[in-house]
Structure 1
């Protein structure tokens, strides 16, 4: 794609990056064929190619261009950032990087209305601090009838028991685990089950309680400086363990994993953190990457349920690990039902299901129809956002896949 940035424009790092991404696009339109929002709405501006043109025009236009309006932002807001288009693209366009730039620019040029700003600020403050989120969740469960429907559907009706964790330090092999921000409240058993399964494989999990939210929520709600601050705080929390020889940093939420693996790129221009961030990204492992390299026969699975696996977008399109969980579950003897259109997003997409509830609900219901077609006993997934979003429909039970593995062990 031809661009028309001035020499002065190209002195700005974000414009140089946008120019690089834009020039890799040949506007073929293959991306629209797999874009969930384009399939629902049929509007070119709600597909990747149309959004790329909108961002190109905005970035090339003068500051006072009246063509850059709230309507431009609407089409950017409707993007799920599922990155399905990147998997489809024959030219390797890094669409998500351009989208981050475009969203930051439209935020600066066209300020949001107070109610919209308040919602996004509230989401950031409520979700990113685990202690605060747990307190708010408990309050919501106590006064459940008073909670708005979109939020009520995402809350487990009662507190979830995490079970016990083994003492990880007794193993020679040690890994860190990112506890997450909302997962400890919504599904605390996920990380506990992970610790128990890894313990069986001779791997201990070293606690690093100073590490918090990965930074993705702030970053994708256009508080990018706050997101980078959380990245630096996590690096500081993990670094002593890295220097001590920690083998890997495990993520059980694929959304966090995709983000941590990009720490190196996000802090590449930070002289104090660039090297450390690159090292952290190199150590980041989704849980399935750990298990697939182990001798799973030692786990002795006794109970095998019929499952449908929903592969989160952050696992298959961002981390390029599509099929990895299916293979691990297959090696353990679980029966997996086929899922049509498994590449499509379920509509969770971080906070998208709250900021764009109508589209998110349509995508969720379509996804559940495909997941339930094979009559599974349980739907399993690898990301807390997908898990709570799908479970909110109150249809087939939805769990993290490691919990099912843990329960099947004797």
Structure 2
């Protein structure tokens, strides 16, 4: 694709990156076949190829409007198109750059500003989010249905606490922002599982939101500050030889693995950010590497097969390119995995997408639940807190993190 970006932008780091990405696109259209919003809306501008053209036009100085913003807002950033693309177009990075460029030129309505402002200020702060969730759960029966659907029920599988662990092998875990309030057992179960595998897992209290939430809510500078704070919190442990930084939410994992890229222009943090990204692992990568220790633990406690369906989050299969690993671990634990049609498609959670684009999000959720439920599983498991909460809001079948199931079965 030929480009002619505006002079004021083309020689900036973002301009050079965008130009390189645009030039890799051969506009073949393969991406439209796996784009969830294109499948629902059938509009070229609501597919990756159309959005790439919109971004190209913007960066070349053509007028942009609220209509352009609408089509870019509708993108889930699921990255299914990247998995499909034969040319290796880094679409999500082009979208990040395009959205930031657009938001400096097209203002949002007061209503949108208010909603986005609340989300980016409240969700990353557990001291605000947890009491808000607790109050919402208490008042849920009294709320209008549309609002009640946004309030998650109390999480299944309450935590039995963290183990008193002191192994030579030590790994960090990110508590995150919303997961401790919505699913406190996830990190605790991971710590108990890794303890059985000879690994001590611990959290750095000073660390918080990974930054992904604000990054995708028109607040990229605030997101970079979140990322720097986490690096500062983790760095002493990195210097002391921590083996890995473990992510139990695949959305956080996909973002932290890009710290090195996103802070590459920051002379004070570029080297540290690259090191943090190199150390970051999804919990499935840690557990599968310990399969030789895990399998005897599973074999020692014979249990009846558990029929379940696995929803692979987009941030796991498309963002981190981790496929089949969780399924392998669940099968080794004696679980019977039911088939899931169109498993590459997004469930509609996508961070705050379910709040900002409720109609599209609900359609995608209902489609995903139909696929997950087709095999009549007793349980649905996933690898990301956003997907877990979103799917549970429309499902009578319990939805849990897969690591809880492995830990319980040993």
TM-score range, shorter chain: over 0.9
Mapped partners of 2:69, 2:394: distance in 1: 29
**1:162 corresponding residue in structure 2:** 159
Mapped partners of 1:154, 1:123: distance in 2: 13
**2:398 corresponding residue in structure 1:** 397
Mapped partners of 1:219, 1:358: distance in 2: 23
Which whole-Å deviations, capped at 9, do the CAs of 1:75-117 have from their partners, x for residues lacking one?
0000000000000000000000010011111111111011101
Q: Secondary structure of the residue that 1:307 maps to in structure 2?
A: strand
Q: Would the aligned equivalents of 1:51 and 1:76 in 2 still touch at CA under 8 Å?
A: yes
Q: CA deviation at 1:231?
A: 0.3
Within a 5 Å distance, the mapping from 1:3-402 to structure 2 comes to 3-61=3-61, 65=63, 68-147=64-143, 149-158=145-154, 161-168=158-165, 170-294=166-290, 295=292, 296-300=294-298, 301-303=301-303, 304-402=305-403
Mapped partners of 2:211, 2:325: distance in 1: 25
Q: TM-score, normalised by structure 1?
A: 0.96
Mapped partners of 1:156, 1:120: distance in 2: 20
Q: Which moved more, 1:390-399 or 1:225-234?
A: 390-399
Q: TM-score, normalised by structure 2?
A: 0.96
Equivalenced residues, count: 404
Q: CA deviation at 1:174?
A: 0.4
Q: Would the aligned equivalents of 2:9 and 2:59 in 1 still touch at CA under 8 Å?
A: no
Q: CA deviation at 1:402?
A: 0.9
What stretches of structure 2 of length at least 5 have no aligned partner? none
Which whole-Å deviations, capped at 9, do the CAs of 1:211-232 have from their partners, x for residues lacking one?
0000000001110000000000
Q: Secondary structure of the residue that 2:381 maps to in structure 1?
A: strand
Mapped partners of 1:231, 1:250: distance in 2: 16
Mapped partners of 1:356, 1:156: distance in 2: 18
Q: Would the aligned equivalents of 2:250 and 2:384 in 1 still touch at CA under 8 Å?
A: yes
Q: CA deviation at 1:235?
A: 0.3
Q: Which moved more, 1:143-152 or 1:246-255?
A: 143-152
Q: CA deviation at 1:7?
A: 4.8
Q: Would the aligned equivalents of 1:175 and 1:246 in 2 still touch at CA under 8 Å?
A: yes
Q: CA deviation at 1:15?
A: 1.5
Q: Cα 1:150–1:171, aligned 2, differ >3 Å: closer, same or farther?
A: farther
Query: What is the root-mean-square deviation in Å for CA atoms of aligned residues?
Result: 1.4
Q: Would the aligned equivalents of 1:133 and 1:182 in 2 still touch at CA under 8 Å?
A: yes
Mapped partners of 2:153, 2:58: distance in 1: 45
Q: Cα 1:374–1:112, aligned 2, differ >3 Å: closer, same or farther?
A: same
